[in-house]
Amino acid sequence: MVARLVGADADPLLADSLGFAAAGVRDVIVQGEIVVADRNALTIDGDALAAAARAASRRLWRRLESPPEHPFMPSFAAAAGARR
């Protein structure tokens, strides 16, 4: 998708030289469809997105709490062990 029209709260002179910050984007129309209106995403199910993010977060924390064993030993650790 390519945004064709973006409405933003910005000083036109600054917008040309500095670009737009995401926080300043007010409205977005893509291929004739309004996808963001008054800073509200219209084409995203926020509850489903939040639920998917929570599920992904739980999976990540489970992986971080019990990392699998692996044979790799960093070279600096092997060198430190050889000096002892």
pLDDT in tens, the chain (84 residues): 565 666 666 555 555 555 556 667 788 888 888 888 988 889 999 899 999 999 999 999 998 888 778 777 777 766 666 555
What residues contact 34, with CB distance under 8 A and at least 6 apart? Answer: 27, 28, 42
- Which of 18, 22, 33, 1 lies closest to 9, judged by CA? 22
Using an 8 Å Cβ cutoff, are 42 and 34 in contact? Answer: yes
Q: Is 84 helix (H, G, I), strand (E, B) or coil?
A: coil
Other CB atoms within 10 A of residue 2 CB: 5
Q: What would you report as the CA-atom Rg of the chain, rounded to the nearest whole angstrom?
A: 24
Q: Report all structural domains of the chain as residue ranges with CATH numbers, in order of start.
A: 3-67 (2.30.40.10)
Indicate whether this model's pTM tops 0.75.
no
